[in-house]
Amino acid sequence: MILIPCPHCGPREQTEFTYGGDAGVSRPGRPEDADDAAWIEYLYLRDNPKGEHVELWQHTFGCRQWLRVRRNVVNHEIVAEEET
């Protein structure tokens, strides 16, 4: 079980959270100005690092806040987290 330290609720089990994926991708700010390459980058391409990964988790069965978590995806160690 991964324990995720929620800044509001303290360390909670992963089953209370919903995964939100890579926190590094952001939707093009002005969609009408974004070209295909920008949309492909946002929708599909990921760094998928074998190491530290910054990702989103929502504390769905807790405070419902979205967190930005830096987690090592090889050993699941959580290095840092902050509210989005």
Partner 1 sequence: MSRYSLASLVRHGLTGHRGWRPAWRHPEPKAEYDAIIVGGGGHGLASAYYLAKNHGLTNIAVLEKGWLGGGNTGRNTTIVRSNYLLDANAKFYEHGMKLWEGLSQDLNFNVMFSQRGVLNLAHSKGQLETFRRRGNAMRLNGIDAELLNGEQAAEFVPGMDVGRNVRFPVEGGLLQRRGGTARHDAVAWGYARGADQRGVDIIQNCEVTGIRRDGQGVTGVETSRGFIATKKIGLAVAGHSTQLAAMAGVRLPIESHVLQAVVSEPVKPVLDTVVTFGAAHLYVSQSDKGELVMGGDIDGYNSFAQRGNLPVIEHFTACLLALFPQFSRLRILRNWGGIMDMTMDGSPIIGTTPVPGLFLNGGWCYGGFKATPASGWVFAHTIATEQPHALNADLSLERFHTGRVLDEKGAGPYPWLH
Q: Which positions touch partner 1 (CB under 8 A)? A: 1-2, 14-15, 19, 21-22, 36, 40, 43-48, 50, 53, 55, 71, 73-76
Q: Give the span between the Cα atoms of 4 and 14, in whole angstroms.
A: 6
The angle formed by the CA atoms of residues 28, 47 and 16, to the nearest 5 degrees, is: 85
- The single-letter DSSP state of residue 9 is T
Q: What's the min distance (Å) between Cβ of 31 and partner 1?
A: 16
Nearest CB to partner 1, comparing residues 26 and 48:
48
The smaller minimum CB distance to partner 1, of residues 32 and 47, is found at 47
Q: Which helix (H) or strand (E) holds 70?
A: strand 66-72
Q: How far is the CB of 19 from partner 1 (least distance, A)?
A: 5
